[in-house]
Structure 1
Amino acid sequence: MRGICNAAAFLLLGVWMLLGTVSPAKIHGNPANDLVALINGKRAASKLPPLRNSAGLGCMALQYISECISSNKEECSGSNNTVVKCQPPEAHITEVYAANCGVELPTVDVISGHLIGCNRDPEDALLLLGDKVIRGKEHTQVGAAFDRAHRRGPFFWGVLFSSGSPNSTFLLEAAGRGIQQTHGCSSGPDRLSCNATPPRHGPSRLIVAALLLFHFQLFNVILS
């Protein structure tokens, strides 16, 4: 009996550890790039030129979302799933978000428009973009982002537009890599996948594993 319990304990422990290494919030593909594609599709329908997909603006849009999630306590509000309570100072976009992303400060340029909203279905969020902002003739480039506060929370999405020169503005440091973001999805030609849930904060997996094993051993002692 004891041998069977030991075998079961180690089997369950191994399965639990293995499952714990798989992120349930991993998104196949990058919905932030899907947003950019949708925006350019809407512009093409209006015979407007496509916007450059800027990784620098995409990362800044992700910072924008992070601040809105914090200020809204992870909840959507307003009509059409807009985030009416989140209105960070305009200076944060160019002075805070750019620095957090590793955007070269001399290349920071004008933000010609921005959108933010939230939805529990990321695909539905693609239908909630403001056409008037999207079709602005002054825009030359765009960056988009998705994020969520936890596995079952609503998705927050954001878009930043700029009228700056696409080839010389919002450039990232470190040979175009910038500062690595720990979670969320931001647009960029080389960003094909992402993770939209922040790292979990809780007891160490090794500590929990040790406690689980201890309980199995105690159970064996009782049986013997």
Structure 2
Amino acid sequence: AKCKPFTNHPFLPYLLHLLRLINFFSSPQLELPFSPLTLFHTTAKAKSIFLFTSALRMMKNNPSYCVLHFFCCFSCCLLLPALVLSHHIYGNPASDIVDIINKNRTDQKLPHLNDSPGLGCMALQYVELCKGNCTDNNAVNCKPPEDDFTEVFAPNCGVELPTFGTITGHIVGCQRDYLEPSLAFSQVLIKDKKSVSLLKNRSHTEVGVGLVGLHKGPFFWCVLFSNGQTNSTFVLENRGAGIQQKNGCYSGSSTPCSGGQRSSVSVAFFNVFFIYCVSILLFTLL
């Protein structure tokens, strides 16, 4: 029997639910989620699993729908979210926030701030230390000692101590759910008079942003400001080549978020392959 056109297949709606399911399982447990839309409730995930198994059962009872045709389409459905995932993870939202900060300042006729990788790395170290200390009101319940900047954060980043400048201000915020850079800027970082005052401070010359979190949250953002001379303060040894970035991301870095962990693309394709094998097993057993 001829294969029915794919658009006429009654299990096409099931594939849409399958995409949601694949997106969830393909999202590696790194710092950033595939998308806020993929953080489904348990009931939604259960529904997707039920619909998927129902589609397989229907196919087994109707061989005319062509198993090969289905699995070819199914393979494409598996690969698409993985490719989209790799594109999403490989951005740097910390650098995006720096761009937003500078746009906000220049719109108000304030000087542009230099994006300092040294400050950005230390901002990441700051939120790494505070990770997990986010209250129910989305407030960071953590304040590292001032000495940690020179004794912990700077050495961990490889900041050359003779170039350690003055930190003129910092903003820290957290949120249970991941927010895109523009929302993180307005809803987490710049949300009161104190943070607005820091943003508009004319003494700032440099800025660095760090971001860390788990794919289910909470997420932490930190902005550090300095009045140091551009490219001569907070200088990284070997231009940061020796930094072993394990979690999160920081502005001014060419390393993508979670670059120190397993490649997000590899994780995604591994999970895709696993679900593909499970689907074949289910088709055989149903």
So what's the TM-score if we normalise by structure 2?
Answer: 0.56
Distance 1:96 1:39 in 2: 27
Three-state SS of the structure 2 residue aligned to 1:138 is coil
Q: Name the structure where helix makes up a greater proportion of residues.
A: 2
| Percent pairwise identity | 47
Name the aligned partner's letter for residue 89 of structure 2: I
Name the aligned partner's letter for residue 133 of structure 1: L
Shift of 1:26: 5.5
Q: Name the structure where strand makes up a greater proportion of residues.
A: 1
- State the Cα deviation string for residues 126-161 of structure 1 (Å, max 9, x = none): 2142211111111110000111034x1122111111
Say what the alpha-carbon RMSD is for the aligned residues.
4.1
What is the match of residue 82 of structure 1? 139
Three-state SS of the structure 2 residue aligned to 1:126 is helix
2:244 matches 1:141: no
Shift of 1:45: 2.0
Three-state SS of the structure 2 residue aligned to 1:145 is strand
Count of matched residue pairs: 210
Distance 1:154 1:160 in 2: 20
Distance 1:134 1:50 in 2: 11
Indicate conservation of the 8 Å contact 2:212/2:247, yes or no. Answer: yes
Please say which of residues 111-120 and 26-35 is displaced more in the overlay: 26-35
Distance 1:26 1:102 in 2: 28
What is the match of residue 225 of structure 2? 161
2:94 matches 1:35: no
Distance 2:229 2:212 in 1: 27
Please say which of residues 170-179 and 137-146 is displaced more in the overlay: 170-179
Alignment equivalent of 1:124, drawn from 142, 166, 183: 183
Q: Which structure has the greater CA radius of gyration?
A: 2
- State the Cα deviation string for residues 15-74 of structure 1 (Å, max 9, x = none): xxxx99x977962421101111111112112211100000010010000010110x51xx
What is the match of residue 11 of structure 1? none
What is the match of residue 64 of structure 1? 126
Distance 2:172 2:91 in 1: 21
Distance 1:111 1:187 in 2: 16
Alignment equivalent of 2:154, drawn from 98, 101, 111: 98
CA 1:96–1:162 in 2, change beyond 3 Å: closer, same or farther?
Answer: same
Indicate conservation of the 8 Å contact 1:144/1:157, yes or no. Answer: yes
CA 1:101–1:26 in 2, change beyond 3 Å: closer, same or farther?
Answer: farther
State how 1:163-182 maps to structure 2 within 5 Å: 163-182=227-246
So what's the TM-score if we normalise by structure 1?
Answer: 0.70
